[in-house]
């Protein structure tokens, strides 16, 4: 970080006289290992558009974003950033940023429009991803490909409820994965099965704020659905890892893992054992739910078993064998992280469909202090100390190399800014600098292996239920014209990574 860029700190982190637990501070830019890689991330539905172009089938997000009344701010991803038709331009722009990697996802219903294992393959969809992969490699950008980033084929929900039928979904996901490995795996060396299974399970099948929109209000059993969905994800992930390891990895020499998201949780009252326990419990309900079976080959965390009882599915003997067999194959821990929250233990009995461990997430602690400056999203605060603590928590529990697969923020008020104001994204630059310094300290002071970093996002895009209101990109997109304009943060990241890696040479 160029410290001079942030001398006028009050103008960079403007707040309403909030008091913070740990004020973001100016720090010397710290080094990163010379082989540390960096890049940017996106997801298919958020940028591609081409909703029905060249034979693409309908996904649950095509359905969800067209519901009336709207649950996505009256907006949808039919066109999005039109990446499907502007792919070469976008890759050229990426290359100008000097990225090493690009994390993207494959739209399942673009390559298998109906989604099922016996359904026809759409060769036009295959051709698009082949062109994209080749275009990236021609510019020395390595693709990291996520198989599933929230956009299940709608037909699989119509047929059997998708994730709610573990056996059927597992079989269809296996075939989808085999197709991708066989068509793209000669060039793709980094695979991710699922992006953020917690969000798929809870936001899609409990609160219903994301596709497919299942909630108690829509007549669904929120006591059991999220846990069944999570179980399907864990088992189908392990099954696909085994397929890759036995059928493809010996020849293709790639790697595979899963990406988990998570806040770090500080206790609401740092002097209370009750609230300290609540913070730990929240981490286990959020992260350990998936990470313990996937990375350790173990049952779900004991606190989940104790509190959820029969609501939480049991692993069969065969499933536990599969988890133990595949746990060591996961190449690294993929971490999506944005912010930190306080965890407050609730004194009243939990709701029948509680999914938190009877813990409330709050922005203010018992002393009325915030965690840090607020970004363009009320829940996302600048809290690099919490990020470093989460890196330590994950490393201590799973002892796997970590890749930061998403990290970023929208600037305060960015959705109302002019183009000139938006590209001058000093708040985002400061956020990136502080979080990169947290990574450096975790590596050199805490002994944690962190291998790489992907900024969210390569460009402004359709941010799910927020529509186009939240701008996370390092590239500005004018949605009326689809013109792309680099923000200053893109060149900050380019310069910063070059300088940080030089310092270790």
6 has a pLDDT exceeding 60:
no
Distances (CA, A) of 323 to 237, 263, 328: 9, 25, 9
Q: pLDDT per residue over 178-217, tens digit each?
A: 999 999 999 999 999 999 999 999 999 999 999 999 999 9
The whole-model pTM stands at: 0.95
CATH says 3-502 is which class?
Answer: alpha beta
Q: pLDDT per residue over 216-270, tens digit each?
A: 999 999 999 999 999 999 999 999 999 999 999 999 999 999 999 999 999 999 9
Structure tokens at 495: 């310069």
How big is the CA angle at 322 (ends 317 and 323), to the nearest 5 degrees? 100
Each domain of the chain, given as residue ranges in start order, spans 3-502
Active site residue 123: no
316 has a pLDDT exceeding 60:
yes
Quick check: helix, strand or coil at residue 190? strand
- The HSE-up count of residue 293 (CA atoms within 13 Å, CB side) is 28
* Residues sharing a CB contact under 8 Å with residue 448, sequence separation 6 or more, in sequence order: 391, 392, 395, 402, 442
Q: pLDDT per residue over 9-58, tens digit each?
A: 333 444 455 665 666 666 567 899 999 999 999 999 999 999 999 999 99
Instruction: Please state, in angstroms and rounded to a whole number, the distance separating the CA atoms of residues 257 and 249.
Output: 13
Of the candidates 204, 259, 252, the residue with the CA atom closest to the CA atom of residue 227: 204
**Share of residues in the chain with pLDDT > 90 (%):** 93
Q: What are phi and psi of 239, to 5 degrees?
A: -65, -40
* Mean pLDDT of the 304-329 span: 98
Instruction: Please state, in angstroms and rounded to a whole number, the distance separating the CA atoms of residues 439 and 500.
Output: 12
Residue-level pLDDT at 12: 44
Instruction: Please state, in angstroms and rounded to a whole number, the distance separating the CA atoms of residues 113 and 107.
Output: 9
Residue-level pLDDT at 30: 87
Average pLDDT, the chain: 94
Q: Which residue in 155, 266, 284, 406 is the catalytic one?
A: 406
Active site residue 406: yes
Q: Name beta bridge partners: 231.
A: none
Q: Which residue in 142, 196, 319, 463 is the catalytic one?
A: 196
Q: pLDDT per residue over 68-79, tens digit each?
A: 999 999 999 999
Other Cβ atoms closer than 10 A to 478: 12
Q: pLDDT per residue over 403-455, tens digit each?
A: 999 999 999 999 999 999 999 999 999 999 999 999 999 999 999 999 999 99
How big is the CA angle at 480 (ends 474 and 485), to the nearest 5 degrees? 25
Residue-level pLDDT at 5: 32
Instruction: Please state, in angstroms and rounded to a whole number, the distance separating the CA atoms of residues 334 and 237.
Output: 14
């Amino acid at each position: 970080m160029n410290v001079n860029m942030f001398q006028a700190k009050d103008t960079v982190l403007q707040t309403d006289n909030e008091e913070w637990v740990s004020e973001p501070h100016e720090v010397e830019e710290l080094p990163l290992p010379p082989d540390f890689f960096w890049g940017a991330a996106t997801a298919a539905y958020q940028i591609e558009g081409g909703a029905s172009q060249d034979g693409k089938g309908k996904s649950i997000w095509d359905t969800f974003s067209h519901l009336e009344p709207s649950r996505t701010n009256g907006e949808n991803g039919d066109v999005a950033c039109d990446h499907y038709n502007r792919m070469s331009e976008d890759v050229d722009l990426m290359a100008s940023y000097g990225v090493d990697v690009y994390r993207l996802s494959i739209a399942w219903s673009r390559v298998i429009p109906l989604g099922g294992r016996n359904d026809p393959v759409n060769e036009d969809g295959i051709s698009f991803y082949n062109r994209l992969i080749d275009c990236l490699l021609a510019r020395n950008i390595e693709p990291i490909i996520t198989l599933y980033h929230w956009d299940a084929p709608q037909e699989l929900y119509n047929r059997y409820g998708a994730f709610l039928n573990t056996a059927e979904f597992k079989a269809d996901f296996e075939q989808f994965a085999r197709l991708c490995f066989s068509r793209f795996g000669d060039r793709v060396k980094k695979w991710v099965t699922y992006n953020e299974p917690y969000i798929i399970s809870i936001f899609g099948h409990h609160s219903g704020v994301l596709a497919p929109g299942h909630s108690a209000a829509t007549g669904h059993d929120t006591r059991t659905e999220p846990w069944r969905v999570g179980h399907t994800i864990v088992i189908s992930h392990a099954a696909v890892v085994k397929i890759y390891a036995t059928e493809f990895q010996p020849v293709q020499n790639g790697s595979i893992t899963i990406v988990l998201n998570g806040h770090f949780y500080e206790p609401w009252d740092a002097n209370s054992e009750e609230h300290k326990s609540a913070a730990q419990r929240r981490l286990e309900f959020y992260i350990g739910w998936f990470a313990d079976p996937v990375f350790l080959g173990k049952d779900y965390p004991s606190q989940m078993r104790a509190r959820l009882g029969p609501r939480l599915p049991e692993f069969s003997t065969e499933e536990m064998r599969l988890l133990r067999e595949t746990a060591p194959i996961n190449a690294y821990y993929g971490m999506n992280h944005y912010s930190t929250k306080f965890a407050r233990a609730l004194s009243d009995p939990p709701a029948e469909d509680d999914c938190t461990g009877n813990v409330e997430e709050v922005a203010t602690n018992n002393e009325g202090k915030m965690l840090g400056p607020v970004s363009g999203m009320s829940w996302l605060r600048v809290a690099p100390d919490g990020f470093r603590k989460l890196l330590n928590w994950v490393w201590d529990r799973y002892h796997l190399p970590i890749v930061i697969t998403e990290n970023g923020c929208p600037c305060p008020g960015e959705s109302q800014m002019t183009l000139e104001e938006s590209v001058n994204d000093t708040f985002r630059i400061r956020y990136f600098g502080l979080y990169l310094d947290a990574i450096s300290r975790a590596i050199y002071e805490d002994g944690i292996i962190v291998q790489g970093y992907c900024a969210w996002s390569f460009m402004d895009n359709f941010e799910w239920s927020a529509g186009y209101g939240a701008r996370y990109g390092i590239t500005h997109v004018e949605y009326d014209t689809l013109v792309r304009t680099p923000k200053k943060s893109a060149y900050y990241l380019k310069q910063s990574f070059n300088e940080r890696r030089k310092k270790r040479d």
